[in-house]
Amino acid sequence: MRKQDMDKRVTISGLPETPREFGFWMDGGWQGARTLYERISPAHGVPVTRIPVCTVDDLNAAVAAARRAFEDRSWAGLSGADRAGVLLRAADILRQRRDEIAYWEVLENGKPIAQARGEIDHCIACFEVGAGAARMLHGDSFNSLGDGLFGMVLREPVGVVGLITPWNFPFLILCERVPFILASGCTMVVKPSEVTSATTLILGEILAEAGLPKGVYNVVTGSGRTIGQAMAEHPDVDMLSFTGSTGVGRSVVHAAADSNFKKLGLELGGKNPIVVFADADLEDAADGAAFGISFNTGQCCVSSSRLIVDRRVADEFEALVVAKMQKIVVGDPLDEATQIGAITTDAQNATILSYIEKGKAEGAKILTGGAAADLGRGSYITPTLFTGVTRDMSIARDEIFGPVLSSFRFDTTDEAIALANDTVYGLAASVWSKNIDTALTVSRRVRAGRFWVNCIMAGGPEMPLGGFKQSGWGREAGTYGVEEYTQVKSVHVEIGKRNHWIK
Ligand code: TXE
C-alpha cells in the first residue's frame, strides 16, 4: 500500500494495531529509507510509528532539492497573494485533518489529546497569520536623499533554510516557523526530533495538496548528532533556525562559524519567573502558576519555573498553588479528561527526577508532588512545588523541563526584579498585580522576550517570540518572524544627469 493511501486509513482512537510507517519527504513526495526507527509511545509502551533513519546523503539531496526550488523562482517568484493562497489552503486541510494530527502528537509525545487538538488550532492560526504576512511583506523607501537620488530597501528571502525542531511541541513549534519561512519566499529542509517526527512528515503531504511547489518543503529525519550536525555545517544552507537545548545551540553556532557563517535563529532554554505581588488576584495567580509549570508536564521552554512571591502573602499563596496542583488530572493522554500526560522520553524523566532529588539534598522543602506517578505503564511525574529555595541551588538555576516549581520570596519591587533577572536565560516572564504601575515597571525591567501581565502563555502567532540573553537569537512568528527570514538590500537610483567625477 502506498503511504499516501495509508494516511487516509488511520484510526484516530485507541492505540494503532501496527506502527504507522513513514518515508521521508523530499522534492514533493515520499522517499523510502533503508533503516527505520521505531517510536514507542511514552505513555503506552507500544510501538506507534516507524520513522526513516536518514543518511547525510539524504540530507544533501534534500538541500539540493530546496536549492533548486529556490533558484527556479517557483516559490520566491510568486506574488505574496499566491503564496498566501497556498498557506490558506494548507490551513483548511489542517482543519480537516486536525484530529488525526493531534492523535499522532499524543502517541509520539505523550501529551493529552484535548491539549493536542488545541495546539493544532493554534497551528491553523499560524498558517492564516503567515498568509496575511506574505501579502503584507514589503521593504522601505528613502525619499530623503535629495532630488538626484532615490533609495529603496528591498526585502529578499534568505534562501535555503534549515529548521531543527525539538520534541516538546513537535507540530506547534514547527508551525510557529514554517508558514513564516514560506511567507518570506524561502525554501527549507526540516529535521524534527528523532522521537517525534510523524506530524512534521505529514505536513509535507498537506503542503503538497495545498499547492506548494515541489522542493520547497523537505523533511529529513534522523538523529541530531548526524543529520542535525550535518545541517548546521552544510555550506549550502543559508540560514538555520534551531530550537532546543542551550548546549546544542552553542554547537550550532560553532558549526555555522566553521562552515559558511549561515544566519542563525536560536530558541533555547528558559528559567522563567512568575512574579506575584500581594495586590494580585491570588486565586487567579495560583491557577496561572500551577498551569504555567504543569502544562505539557513542564516540558515548555516558556514554563514559569521560578515563583517569586511577595513575602506578605507567600504562605497563603503557596497553599493556593498546592491546592491547584493537587487537582490537576494526571493520566493517559488519550483520555479526554487528562490534563497532563506522560514525560516524553526516558532521559527527560530521569533528568526531572534527578533535579527533584537535588532540590531535596540542597535543603529545599517539597510542599506537594515530588514523585513519579504510577499509572501501570509510561512515566508520569506529579506537579511539584519546592519552597525555601535559594538562588544558588540547582533547582533555582537550571532548566529542569518538568513540572517542578521553585518558590522564592521578596520584600520590595526592586528585589523581585533582581530575582527575576537572576538567570542566564531571558525567554519569558509573568507578573501578577492589580497595580498598573507595578505591573508595567516589572514588565519593562525584566529582561525576557515574552511577557505576560496577569496571564501566562497567552497570545497568538501575530506576536513575535524569542529570547533575551542565553535564550536565543532572533524572533519567530508574525511579521517579525517573516522578516527574520529575509535580508535587506539597499538599492540606489540616480535621477537625471550624473555629476561627473572626471571633468
Ligand atoms: O535537546 P536537543 P534534548 C532543553 C530541555 C531539555 C534539554 C535536552 O532543558 O531537558 O534541552 O533535550 C537536535 N546538531 N530543551 O536533548 O538535543 C535534536 O535531534 C544539531 C529546550 O532533546 O537540543 C532535536 O531535533 N542538532 C527546548 C533538537 O536538536 C542537534 C526544547 C533538540 O534536541 C544536535 C527541547 C547537534 N549536534 C529541549 N544534537 C526549547 N527551547 O523548547 C541534537 N540535535
Q: Please identify, by atom number, the ligand 1 atom nearest to the C-alpha of residue 249.
A: 23
Give the ranges where 328-434 is alpha helix by DSSP (H).
346-361, 394-397, 413-420
Q: Is the CB of 51 under 6 A from ligand 1?
A: no
Distances (CA, A) of 273 to 201, 302, 368, 415, 426: 35, 10, 19, 13, 9
The answer to whether the beta carbons of residues 384 and 298 sit under 8 Å apart is no
Rounded to an integer, what distance in angstroms lies between the CA atom of residue 325 and that of residue 267? Answer: 28
Residues 140 and 154 in one domain: yes
Nearest residue (CA) to ligand 1, atom 39: 224
- Per the structure block, which three cell numbers stand in for 432? 501578577
- Per the structure block, which three cell numbers stand in for 259? 562552515
The answer to whether the beta carbons of residues 47 and 40 sit under 8 Å apart is yes
Quick check: is 117 in a domain?
yes
- Per the structure block, which three cell numbers stand in for 297? 508536564
Nearest residue (CA) to ligand 1, atom 11: 245
Q: Is the CB of 244 under 6 A from ligand 1?
A: yes
Distances (CA, A) of 86 to 82, 108, 175, 469: 7, 28, 14, 36
d(CA 165, ligand 1 centre) in Å? 8
Q: Is the CB of 364 under 6 A from ligand 1?
A: no
Rounded to an integer, what distance in angstroms lies between the CA atom of residue 233 and that of residue 238? Answer: 11
Q: Is the CB of 331 under 6 A from ligand 1?
A: no
Nearest residue (CA) to ligand 1, atom 34: 224
d(CA 19, ligand 1 centre) in Å? 25
Residues 258 and 321 in one domain: no
Residues 448 and 319 in one domain: yes
Q: Please identify, by atom number, the ligand 1 atom nearest to the C-alpha of residue 300.
A: 42
The answer to whether the beta carbons of residues 181 and 38 sit under 8 Å apart is no
370 closest CA partner among 350, 360, 349, 356: 356
The answer to whether the beta carbons of residues 151 and 492 sit under 8 Å apart is yes
Task: Provide the pLDDT for residue 5.
Answer: 40
3-state helix, strand, coil split of the chain in percent (to 5) is 40, 20, 35
d(CA 139, ligand 1 centre) in Å? 35
d(CA 400, ligand 1 centre) in Å? 13
CATH number of the domain at 445, please.
3.40.309.10
Rounded to an integer, what distance in angstroms lies between the CA atom of residue 114 and that of residue 119? Answer: 9
Distances (CA, A) of 403 to 107, 228, 493: 20, 28, 58
For cell 506507534, what's the residue? 48
Q: Is the CB of 194 under 6 A from ligand 1?
A: yes
Q: Is the CB of 233 under 6 A from ligand 1?
A: no
> What value, to the nearest 5°, has the Cα angle with vertex 29 and ends 345 and 214?
115
Q: Is the CB of 227 under 6 A from ligand 1?
A: no
Task: Provide the pLDDT for residue 477.
Answer: 96
Reduce the DSSP state of residue 59 to 3 states and report it.
Answer: helix
Quick check: is 25 in a domain?
no
**Sign (positive/negative) of CA torsion 209, 211, 213, 215?**
negative
Nearest residue (CA) to ligand 1, atom 35: 244
d(CA 430, ligand 1 centre) in Å? 25
| Chain CA centroid to CA 305, Å | 17
Quick check: is 458 in a domain?
no
Quick check: is 459 in a domain?
no
How many domains does the chain divide into? 2
Supply the residues annotated as catalytic: 267
Residues 308 and 221 in one domain: no
Residues 205 and 299 in one domain: no
Residues 170 and 84 in one domain: yes
404: left (phi over 0), alpha (psi -120 to 50) or beta: beta
Quick check: is 18 in a domain?
no
Rounded to an integer, what distance in angstroms lies between the CA atom of residue 351 and that of residue 398? Answer: 11
Q: Is the CB of 232 under 6 A from ligand 1?
A: yes
Quick check: is 83 in a domain?
yes
The answer to whether the beta carbons of residues 212 and 66 sit under 8 Å apart is no
Nearest residue (CA) to ligand 1, atom 43: 224
Q: Please enumerate in sequence order all residues whose Cβ is within 8 A of that of 334, keeping only pairs 6 or more positions apart, or say none.
A: 13, 14, 15, 43, 44, 106, 113
d(CA 345, ligand 1 centre) in Å? 12
Q: Identity (one letter) of the amino acid at 246?
A: T
> What value, to the nearest 5°, has the Cα angle with vertex 191 and ends 187 and 194?
160
Nearest residue (CA) to ligand 1, atom 41: 268
Nearest residue (CA) to ligand 1, atom 26: 228
**Sign (positive/negative) of CA torsion 176, 181, 182, 187?**
negative
Rounded to an integer, what distance in angstroms lies between the CA atom of residue 146 and that of residue 153? Answer: 16
Residues 359 and 230 in one domain: no
Rounded to an integer, what distance in angstroms lies between the CA atom of residue 472 and that of residue 5? Answer: 41
Quick check: is 252 in a domain?
yes
Residues 226 and 343 in one domain: no
For cell 486565586, what's the residue? 283
Reduce the DSSP state of residue 200 to 3 states and report it.
Answer: helix
Q: What is the pLDDT along the chain (503 residues), one digit of tens a residue?
A: 334 443 444 456 789 999 999 999 999 999 998 899 999 999 999 999 999 999 999 999 999 999 999 999 999 999 999 999 999 999 999 999 999 999 999 999 999 999 999 999 999 999 999 999 999 999 999 999 999 999 999 999 999 999 999 999 999 999 999 999 999 999 999 999 999 999 999 999 999 999 999 999 999 999 999 999 999 999 999 999 999 999 999 999 999 999 999 999 999 999 999 999 999 999 999 999 999 999 999 999 999 999 999 999 999 999 999 999 999 999 999 999 999 999 999 999 999 999 999 999 999 999 999 999 999 999 999 999 999 999 999 999 999 999 999 999 999 999 999 999 999 999 999 999 999 999 999 999 999 999 999 999 999 999 999 999 999 999 999 999 999 999 999 999 999 999 999 99
Distances (CA, A) of 200 to 111, 180, 342, 459: 16, 16, 21, 23
- Give this prediction's pTM: 0.96
Pocket test for ligand 1, best of 248, 252, 271, 272 (most atoms within 8 A of CB): 248
Residues 435 and 421 in one domain: yes
Rounded to an integer, what distance in angstroms lies between the CA atom of residue 350 and that of residue 345? Answer: 9
Domain that holds residue 446: 273-453
Rounded to 5 degrees, φ, ψ at 367 are: -95, -30
Task: Provide the pLDDT for residue 12.
Answer: 60
Quick check: is 74 in a domain?
yes
Residues 248 and 320 in one domain: no
Residues 149 and 234 in one domain: yes
d(CA 224, ligand 1 centre) in Å? 8
Cβ atoms within 10 Å, residue 398: 17
Q: Is the CB of 269 under 6 A from ligand 1?
A: yes
Q: Is the CB of 252 under 6 A from ligand 1?
A: yes
The answer to whether the beta carbons of residues 108 and 117 sit under 8 Å apart is no
d(CA 252, ligand 1 centre) in Å? 11
Task: Provide the pLDDT for residue 3.
Answer: 41
Q: Is the CB of 401 under 6 A from ligand 1?
A: yes
Q: Is the CB of 428 under 6 A from ligand 1?
A: no
For cell 525555601, what's the residue? 388
Residues 97 and 234 in one domain: yes
CATH number of the domain at 479, please.
3.40.605.10
